[in-house]
């Protein structure tokens, strides 16, 4: 995109997405067309056990570099930016007085001030919280997850009391980014409702919950360290970009900054409004992990599925959130187990591809068409729960199962493992869809986003394995688009989030589920999937 093709009078919105492995920025026009994007990787620190950490300083620097690079690529002037929105993983940022980083783990490195969403150090704390059976837990599917923030806070209080006491603010990563940009400490309804037990439908924290689980100090303080003021996504914060943040980002001071959302929810905002009926669509974000988001007019309580959360994604509706703790990461783990994987990885890299892209092309060739590729996994079954089952069983102790694995080490067996893995992700999605439908939150179709769901083969396998049409938006980067929609609302391009959703997103393709023999094959494989889950639970 050159300056000649951009209208100098056009105003744009910036969306910033911080995933597990990178920070990205995208610049969008009012029609939802992305005119430029840039990305910078961020470090993930893995310690022994279940400890996973990051650095908020490194992440902010990556955000700034990405925004500057996107601006340069598009030749857009800072004065043309109407507003910016942020999304990020639901990771916990711990800062001391003056915003100084505090070490959250045994490394004692202060810059490692983030407990990453996938960190499972707080399994014991989550189990103790769940044993209280507090009424708040019914809004997280009956059981809180160690991936949520109050178990992590309790872990810090018990294992790092000096750090807990010294903390000035505990942020969800999205809220850290909006504070860093605007200086405003307001939290997003999305983050604190979905991950911190804030009761958005009553606009309050439940003091009795924090006292019951051992976090009474937060209640005693009036919740000043986790969010005194909670606002809906898209709300303009502070006076816009501070002078310091503007200089670091290459933007104009005062540029409106929107209250943000969790990264998966940005994907939901960027997709489910595309056909004008968000209540009939399940937003499926297929990345390192996967997230399912279902919108209802009235609250629906689904055992093992997080929520219902009020106004956490689509304004003034209820959200049920499920998903798989690892999805794209599960496929990577599966492939890494095969002896031919390193050689094929090198070959794919030499051709400028990723290994999954190469395997998908081989599967389409061998299977005859996209739907027929499932036959390549004949007799091979996978339950990809390497890091537990997030939904619908809320079981962090679940582990993966592989059945039917032989001694083959050739290319065909690697392709078969890939296909079995993708299908298994679809069966986990189907399980969530069925449990929700039984509770009263049925959906007609799935709208997909996320890097692991880009391939047509993956989309067709998901349609066939779930029995639901899988819709793809025209936007190549719906997560970035969702964040940019919030920036557009804060900057006055649109009056509200629903209007932005319908104006900036549209459907580009539909993958219909197969019928006949293919459908029957997936039904049989889905039955095997559930049987293997049951056996794994029984023998554990």
Mean pLDDT of 457-478: 95
Mean pLDDT of the chain: 95
Confidence of residue 29 (pLDDT cuts 50, 70, 90): very high
CA dist 106 and 111 (Å) reads 12
Which residues constitute the domain of residue 333?
A: 328-428
Q: Are residues 237 and 338 in the same domain?
A: no
Q: What pLDDT does 288 receive?
A: 86
pLDDT category at 3 given cuts 50, 70, 90 is very low
What CATH number should be reported for the domain holding residue 386? Answer: 1.20.58.2240
Tens digits of residue pLDDT in 99-142: 999 999 999 999 999 999 999 999 999 999 999 999 999 999 89
Q: 23 and 98, same structural domain?
A: yes
Single residue among 261, 287, 312 that ends a domain in this structure: 261
The answer for residues whose C-beta is within 8 angstroms of residue 298's C-beta and 6 or more apart is 318
537-to-33, 51, 308, 460, 525 alpha-carbon distances in Å: 47, 25, 27, 30, 19
Measured distance CA(29)–CA(13) in Å, rounded: 7
Residue 267 forms part of a structural domain: no
Confidence of residue 394 (pLDDT cuts 50, 70, 90): confident
> Is 507 domain-assigned?
no
Task: Let me know whether 242 and 334 are in one domain.
Answer: no
Are residues 250 and 349 both part of a single domain?
no
Closest alpha carbon to 12 in 88, 56, 75, 92: 75
Same domain, 130 and 233: yes
Confirm whether 29 is domain-assigned: yes
Question: What pLDDT sits at residue 52?
Answer: 97
Query: Do both 101 and 236 map to the same domain?
Result: yes
Q: What is the CATH number of the domain that holds 74?
A: 3.30.420.40
Question: Does 333 lie in the same domain as 219?
Answer: no
Domain count, the chain: 2
Can you give the pLDDT at residue 6? 57
Span 272-283, pLDDT tens digits: 988 778 899 999
Q: What is the mean pLDDT of residues 175-194?
A: 98
Q: Determine the Cα–Cα distance for residues 177 and 183; give it in Å rounded to an integer.
A: 10
Burial class (CB in 10 A: 0-12, 13-18, 19+), 445: buried
Strand (E) positions, 119-265? 169-172, 187-188, 230-231, 261-262
Q: How far is CA 56 from CA 90, 157, 287, in A?
A: 13, 20, 21
Kindly state whether residue 465 falls inside one of the protein's structural domains: no
* C-alpha radius of gyration, the chain, whole number: 22
Tokens 């998908």 belong to residue: 360
Distance of CA 82 to the CA centre of its chain: 26
- For CA atoms 71, 75, 78, 82, the dihedral sign is negative
Res 5 pLDDT > 50? no
Closest CA to 111 of 58, 66, 156, 34: 58
How far apart CA 471 and CA 479 sit, in angstroms, is 15
Q: Please report, in angstroms and rounded to a whole number, the separation of the first and last CA atoms in the chain.
A: 56
237, 348: one domain: no
- Are 83 and 201 in the same domain? yes
158 and 67 share a domain?
A: yes
Exposure b/e, 46-61, CB count within 10 A at least 16 = b: eeeeebbbbbbbbbbe
Query: Which of residues 243, 261, 279 is at a domain's end?
Result: 261
Specify the pTM.
Answer: 0.90
Q: Domain check: are 255 and 336 in the same one?
A: no
Q: Show which of 395, 428, 461 is a domain's final residue.
A: 428
């Amino acid at each position: 995109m050159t300056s000649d093709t951009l209208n100098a009078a056009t105003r744009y919105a910036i969306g910033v997405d911080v995933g597990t492995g990178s920070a990205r920025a995208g610049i969008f026009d009012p029609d939802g067309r992305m005119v430029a994007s840039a990305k910078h990787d961020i470090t993930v620190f893995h310690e022994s056990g279940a400890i996973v950490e990051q650095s908020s300083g490194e992440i902010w620097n990556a955000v700034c570099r990405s925004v500057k690079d996107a601006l340069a690529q598009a030749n857009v002037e800072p004065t043309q930016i109407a507003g910016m929105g942020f999304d990020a993983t639901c990771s916990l940022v711990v800062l001391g007085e003056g915003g100084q980083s505090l070490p959250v783990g045994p490394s004692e490195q202060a810059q490692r001030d983030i407990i990453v969403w996938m960190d499972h150090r707080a399994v014991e704390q989550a189990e103790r919280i769940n044993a209280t059976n507090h009424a708040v837990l019914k809004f997280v599917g009956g059981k809180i997850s160690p991936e949520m923030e109050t178990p992590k806070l309790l872990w810090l209080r018990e294992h790092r009391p000096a750090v807990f006491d010294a903390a000035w603010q505990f942020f969800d990563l999205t809220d850290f980014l909006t504070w860093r940009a605007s200086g405003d400490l307001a939290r997003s309804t999305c983050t604190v409702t979905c991950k911190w037990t804030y009761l958005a439908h009553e606009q309050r924290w439940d003091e009795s919950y924090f006292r019951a689980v051992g976090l009474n100090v937060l209640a005693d303080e009036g919740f000043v360290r986790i969010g005194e003021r909670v606002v809906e996504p898209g709300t303009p914060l502070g006076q816009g970009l501070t002078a310091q943040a503007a200089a670091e980002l290459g933007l104009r001071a005062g540029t409106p900054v929107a209250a943000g959302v969790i990264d998966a929810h940005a994907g939901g905002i960027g997709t489910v409004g595309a056909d004008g009926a968000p209540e009939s669509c399940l937003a499926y974000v297929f990345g390192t992990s996967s997230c399912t988001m279902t919108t209802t007019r009235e609250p629906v309580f689904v055992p093992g599925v997080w929520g219902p959360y009020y106004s956490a994604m689509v304004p003034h509706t209820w959200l049920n959130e499920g998903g798989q703790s690892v999805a794209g990461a599960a496929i990577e783990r599966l492939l890494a187990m095969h002896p031919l994987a390193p050689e094929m990885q090198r070959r794919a890299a030499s051709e400028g591809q990723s290994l999954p892209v190469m395997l998908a092309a081989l599967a389409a060739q061998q299977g005859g068409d996209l739907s027929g590729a499932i036959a390549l996994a004949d007799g091979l079954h996978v339950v990809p729960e390497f890091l537990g089952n997030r939904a619908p069983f809320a079981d962090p102790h679940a582990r993966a199962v592989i059945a039917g694995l032989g001694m083959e080490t050739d290319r065909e067996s690697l392709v078969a493992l890939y296909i079995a893995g993708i299908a298994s992700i679809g069966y986990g999605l189907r399980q969530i869809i069925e449990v929700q439908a039984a509770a009263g939150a049925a959906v007609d179709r799935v709208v997909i986003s996320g890097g692991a769901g880009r391939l047509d083969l993956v989309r067709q396998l998901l349609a066939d394995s779930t029995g639901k049409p899988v819709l793809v938006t025209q936007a190549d980067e719906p997560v970035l688009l969702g964040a940019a929609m919030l920036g557009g609302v804060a900057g006055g391009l649109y009056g509200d989030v629903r209007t932005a959703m319908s104006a900036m997103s549209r459907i580009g393709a539909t993958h219909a589920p197969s019928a006949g023999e293919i459908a029957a094959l997936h039904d049989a494989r889905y039955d095997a999937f559930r049987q293997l889950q049951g056996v794994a639970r029984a023998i554990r």
